Structure 1
Amino acid sequence: MPDTLVIIFFVALAAMLLTYIVPVGAFDTQEIAYVSDGVEKTRSVVDPESFRYQIDEQGNSVKQPVGLFEGGGGVGFFNFAFEGMTSGSKWGTAIGVIMFMLVIGGAFGVVMETGTIDNGILRLIDKTRGNEGLFIPVIFTLFSLGGAVFGMGEEAIAFAIIICPLMIRLGFDGITTVMVTYVATQIGFASSWMNPFSVAIAQGIAGIPVLSGAGVRGLLWAGFTLMGIIFTMRYGAKIRKQPQLSYCYQSDQYFRDHQSSASLESRFNLGDILVLLTILSSVVWVIWGVVTQAWFIPEIASQFFTMGIIVGVIAVIFRLNGMTVNRIATSFKQGATTMLEPAILVGCASGILILLGGGKPTEPSVLNTLLSGAGSVIGQLPAVFSAWFMLLFQSVFNFFVTSGSGQAALTMPLMAPLADIVGVSRQVAVLAFQLGDGFTNVLVPTSASLMATLGVCRVDWGAWLKFIWRFMLALFIVSSVVVVTAHYLGFN
């Protein structure tokens, strides 16, 4: 598959070509009233019945073709990347979301540099040996939390290298290792209430309060995590009883031939405990601020920046991983660097929106015309089917763009206003995005993280497909029920 940025480039090219074909149009907006926390509020939304084409003096519909270059701050095709990255404000897309991502990445870069997360997992592995009944649920929950809180995904690859030989030694197999590491992170990623790489970005793009609906998503995370634990434990119990039933029994022979009795040792002291308490208290503090003080992107970014500083100071005092003041700065920059790729994707994808005329419904644009056309098709269906088709669309689209932030940047600028048109709340549209995007990461061969984890566990993707399709089907069915129920209950 081509790189996500390559896909975005050709989507931008297609967007430019559309401006030569599709006439521009605009909507009117209307104020709607809704109740939040017992208080009646209003919100401006698109009036789906008000669409009209822009016409010239002769009464013909008008097109606004985009050229290759445009000076004076205008928008041309080769301007789209820069214009996209610098669009918006600190309160939202794109510049606000990009800066939010860089600050969050830097803060968690400091956290990861302390080694507390790594050593905590190793310590847990060591302590639970001999008590296999707790091993799978504890490890699965831990990795799911990692996916939910800070978008853990690629990090699971390194842990799979460590955990896989231990799982084989305990009577499980390589597939079980993939389940408790990478799959667990994607369960958390998909159902997260605060993942900065998916739900936070999607909500920011959709124009709804970042981290809103955390209570509902927290319950979903618990339910989907429990679902994954039960599925994995049942499979693990079957393999321990009859190892030959494993889909990767032959490839597991490598680990059986290289078993080691060496114990796992890891550092875990008062400093590590203080780091974990700082992370936990920061998460609780941010949720409180969002719910009670209406914090948005600037405030949330500032709180996590503060968390990174506090964690760094603790690490220096307790000499965690030999941390120094200079290493705090270095790890922050390295953590922010890891966010450059998704930040660029968000900016470039925002440029596509600009090529199509921008996201303002009251200004004539190609995007408004496309939304009106899509709305007229989907709008013929009951709103609940529209919500479900959003889930289906995001699930299929993830085959081509496996980056959560990249997919959010590409799809949410379209899905959010479309949700207004068809009568689906933007919160439900975000929910459909995160469930569709996250869960299919455990299946699609275009996911580099999945293929790498399968590789270190020596599990062939064909064998993995034979195993995981049942779980994927169950996830999709439950996700469909969740999205439909959320729509009927007015999740907003």
Structure 2
Amino acid sequence: MNDGSTPQAAPGAASSRWQMPDTLILIFGVALLALALTYIIPAGSFQTEEIHYTVEGVEKTRTVVDPDSFQYALDENGEVLYNKVGLFEGGGGVGFLNFPFEGLVSGSKWGSAIGVIMFMLVIGGAFGVVMRTGTIDTGILRLIDKTRGNEALFIPVMFTLFSLGGAVFGMGEEAVAFAIIIAPLMIRLGYDGVTTVMVTYVATQVGFGASWMNPFSVAVAQGIAGVPVLSGAEYRIALWVGFTLVGILFTMWYARGVKADPTRSYSFHTDKHFRDQPMGDLASSRWGLGDTLVLLTVIATMVWVIWGVVVNAWYIPEIASQFFTMGLVAGLIGVFFRLNNMTMNDVASSFKEGAAIMLPAALLVGCAKGILLLLGGGEATEPTVLNSILNSAGNTIGGMPEVLSAWFMLLFQSVFNFFVTSGSGQAALTMPLMAPLADLVGVTRQVAVLAFQLGDGFTNVIVPTSAPLMATLGVCRVDWGDWARFAWRFMLLLFVLASVAVVGAHLFGYA
């Protein structure tokens, strides 16, 4: 995304011969590591079982691994089997050179990778149409004029709302849509793309990690662990308040520095795209019935999405269709009212341009999923390297003192989230092992669940395998390398505080 400009003393720009490798190169390097692991670690598998638990009076079932069933795969000679990945595989197999394509086409419409990629393209196209009407640009001008002198309030208010969304209903992918609108507003206010990512997607993950009621992480993990579902809420609510406050203060500290000196921004060079957009001035801007209808369409869609997720458990296919409907209606309004002299051809071209913006992030999502495929995939019943790593980690933690075991559970869940970013998926794989392991080492199962949710949620802030993160970075025009150079401090702060929370919970007998 670098346009060749080199702002003076900008930490987000190259200041020497060495430059942060492109995200695709970093993912390629991780893929090489995954390839090497298939020659070092034998493949193993678990058997699965079905468990039943109750959430708010409703009985639910989930298939989880049997922690006592692990066994290494054996060849015909009785020797442990290594799923060594070759350079290339035919017939739809996964070789090293197959991993980008196989990652891109893996999964289903319900999730990573193909479902998430299509979701990104549709939502990008829909908002491309909305932005083409010019309503959002004009609305931003009027919002800034109405709130002049109170711009700093945007950060704590938005961070709190998005964090609450992550805590209550697992908001994540939905943040991408908001980031498309908020990014130009933030740049107009004197902030940057990094600030936009912080108050949207990162805020949702802070709420997700410290949630007391998230149905996709806390409820699932507690049900699997045999802990009363949604119990221990008082401590988690306190953690949510604390972590949200830390996120707000960290974001405001960074944003204040960027506002004082824009070249301190880690996304200064890529923010040029937004800075170069002609915004005009309030005196010459229009606002008519067409603009009101477009704005109402966007607001109604957001309400519709939240209602669908909370009430009907809608996910990627439904949400994508909701946003496509928004783009279609906004386009028809734009043509009828001649907003920016729009024609039907403009609606089509702006949809394609909006989708094209998402393509770089979509490629990264597919390649990241390909790494998991190199390790054998995430199926517990299939012999894979990942299952062997999971079993070895459990055995290692089981031999540690109590406090250290609790902390290592957090560390393990944080690392494991790189490979399995789905909260419910990670719970199904890890909690059947961590829960009985907690009993053996003297850690309460409630603490084991806490270690899971904090490790799972917070690392979504930085891992390039997180599809919503890459999508949000894409719409905000922030390179992952620049993001990593900024976010590692915040990630370290979250991990230190999470460590204190888990160890403190253990010492005080949180149950």
Q: Tell me the TM-score normalized by structure 2.
A: 0.65
Distance 1:220 1:193, change over 3 A: farther
Q: 1:316 — aligned with what?
A: 335
Give the direction of change, closer, same or farther, for the CA distance of 1:151–1:350 in structure 2 (3 Å limit): same
- Structure 2 CA distance, aligned partners of 1:204 and 1:343? 24
**Would the alpha carbon gap of residues 391 and 427 (structure 1) be closer, same or farther in structure 2, given more than 3 Å must change?**
closer
CA apart distance, 1:408: 6.5
- Select the residue among 370, 383, 395 that pairs with 2:389: 370
Instruction: Name the aligned partner's letter for residue 385 of structure 1.
Output: W
Q: Among residues 104, 117, 122, which one is paired with 1:85 in the alignment?
A: 104
Q: What's the counterpart of residue 135 of structure 1?
A: 151
In the alignment, which residue of structure 2 is the partner of 1:27? 46
Decide whether aligned partners of structure 1 residues 373 and 151 sit closer, same or farther in structure 2, where only a CA change above 3 A counts: farther
Aligned to 1:385: 407
CA distance in 1, matches of 2:320, 2:361: 17
Does the 8 Å CA contact 1:156/1:182 hold for their aligned counterparts?
no
Say which SS state the counterpart of residue 52 (structure 2) adopts: strand
Match of 1:357 in 2: 376
Superposed CA offset, 1:246-301 (max 9, x none) = 8997999xxxxxxxxx9754444333332232222222222322333232322221
Percent identity of the aligned residues? 49
Query: What's 2:459 paired with?
Result: 433
Aligned amino acid, residue 432 of structure 1: F
2:305 matched residue in structure 1: 286
Distance 1:140 1:16 in 2: 43
Deviates more, 1:53-62 or 1:379-388: 379-388
Cα pair distance change 1:485/1:2, threshold 3 Å:
same
> Match for residue 122 of structure 1?
141
SS of the counterpart of 2:66?
A: strand
Residue by residue, what CA displacement relative to the aligned partner does 1:196-251 show, whole Å, maximum 9, x if unpaired?
Answer: xxxxxxx999xx9xxxx9xx999999987776667888999xx9xxxxxx899799
| 8 A Cα contact 1:191 1:224, kept in partner | no
Determine the structure 2 residue equivalent to 1:304. 323
SS in 1 for 2:304: helix
Look up the equivalent residue of 1:27 and give its one-letter code.
F
Matches within 5 A, 1:42-57: 42-57=61-76
TM-score, normalising length from structure 1? 0.67
Equivalent runs, 1:122-201 vs 2, <5 Å = 122-129=141-148, 132=149, 134-138=150-154, 141=157, 149-150=175-176, 159=185, 162-164=188-190, 177=191, 182-183=194-195, 185-192=197-204
CA distance in 2, matches of 1:87, 1:309: 29
Q: Which residue of 2 aligns with 1:422?
A: 434
How far apart, CA to CA, are the structure 2 residues paired with 1:475 and 1:335? 34
* Residues 1:373 and 1:473: Cα distance change in structure 2 (over 3 Å): closer
Q: Find the counterpart in structure 2 of residue 400 from structure 1.
A: none
Cα–Cα, structure 1 residues 351 and 70, in superposed 2: closer, same or farther, change >3 Å? same
Residues 48 and 66 of structure 2 are in contact (CA less than 8 Å); yes or no, is this contact kept in structure 1? yes
**Which amino acid letter does the alignment assign opposite residue 189 of structure 1?**
Y
| Count of paired positions | 414
SS at match of 1:91: coil
User: Residue 339 of structure 1: CA displacement?
Assistant: 1.6
Q: Give the whole-Å Cα distance in 2 for the aligned partners of 1:232 and 1:366.
A: 38
Structure 1 residue 429: Cα displacement: 5.4
Give secondary structure in 1 for the equivalent of 2:350.
Answer: helix
Instruction: Confirm or deny: 8 A CA contact 1:152 1:189 kept in the other structure.
Output: no
Is the contact made by 1:144 and 1:186 (CA closer than 8 Å) also made in structure 2? no
Distance in 1 separating the partners of 2:254 and 2:324 = 41
Deviations 1:353-411 (A, max 9, x none): 222122211111122112222333346677863564368659xxxxxxxxxxxx97775
Q: Deviations over 1:159-186 (max 9, x none)?
A: 566434xxxxxxxxxxxx46xx742541
CA 97–332 in structure 1, closer or farther in 2 if over 3 Å, else same: same
Cα shift readout 1:427-454 (whole Å, capped 9, x = no counterpart): 665423345669x99xxxxx98499999
Moved more, 104-113 or 478-487: 478-487
Once residues 277 and 153 of structure 1 are traced to their aligned partners in structure 2, the CA distance between those partners, rounded to angstroms, is 18
Q: 1:226 to 1:18 in 2, by over 3 A?
A: closer
Give the Cα–Cα distance (whole angstroms) in 2 for the partners of residues 489 and 324 of structure 1.
61
How far off its partner does 1:112 sit? Answer: 2.4
Provide, for residues 315-360 of structure 1, a one-character-per-residue CA deviation record: whole Å limited to 9, x for no partner. 2233333332222211211121122122111211222222212221
* SS of aligned partner of 1:19: helix
Moved more, 380-389 or 183-192: 380-389
Task: Tell me the alpha carbon deviations over residues 66-85 of structure 1, each in whole angstroms, 9 at most, x when there is no partner.
Answer: 21112222221111111121
Structure 1 regions of 5+ residues with no counterpart?
Answer: 165-176, 196-202, 240-245, 253-261, 395-406, 442-446, 455-460
Counterpart-to-counterpart distance in 1, 2:503 and 2:52: 23
Q: CA deviation at 1:10?
A: 1.8
1:44-67 per-residue CA deviation (whole Å, 9 max, x = no partner) reads 012222211112343321112121
Following TM superposition, by how much is the alpha carbon of 1:26 offset from its aligned partner in structure 2, in angstroms? 0.5
Return closer, same or farther for 1:157/1:293 CA change in 2, 3 Å cut-off.
closer
In the alignment, which residue of structure 2 is the partner of 1:275? 294
8 Å CA contact 1:33–1:41 kept in 2: the answer is: yes
- Paired residue type of 2:189: I
Partner of 1:171: none
What residue is the counterpart of 2:359 in the other structure?
340
Alpha-carbon distance in 2 for matches of 1:338, 1:409: 26
Q: How far apart in 1 are the matches of 2:504 and 2:286? A: 45
Can you list the C-alpha shifts for 1:107-134, whole angstroms capped at 9, x where unaligned?
22222222333322221222233xx3x3
Distance 1:485 1:107 in 2: 46
Alpha-carbon deviation of 1:422?
2.5
Take 2:182 and 2:477, find their aligned partners in 1: how far apart are those partners?
12
Whichever residue aligns with residue 307 of structure 2, its letter is W
For the 8 Å contact 2:414–2:456, the answer to whether it is kept is no
Query: Is this contact kept in 2: 1:20–1:65, CA < 8 A?
Result: yes
CA 1:249–1:271: 2 relative to 1, 3 Å: closer
Partner of 1:75: 94
Which of residues 61, 65, 71 is equivalent to 2:80? Answer: 61
In structure 2, what is the Cα distance between the partners aligned to 1:326 and 1:247? 39
Aligned 8 A contact 1:387 1:483 in 2: no
8 A contact 2:122–2:355 mirrored in 1: yes
CA distance in 2, matches of 1:19, 1:5: 21
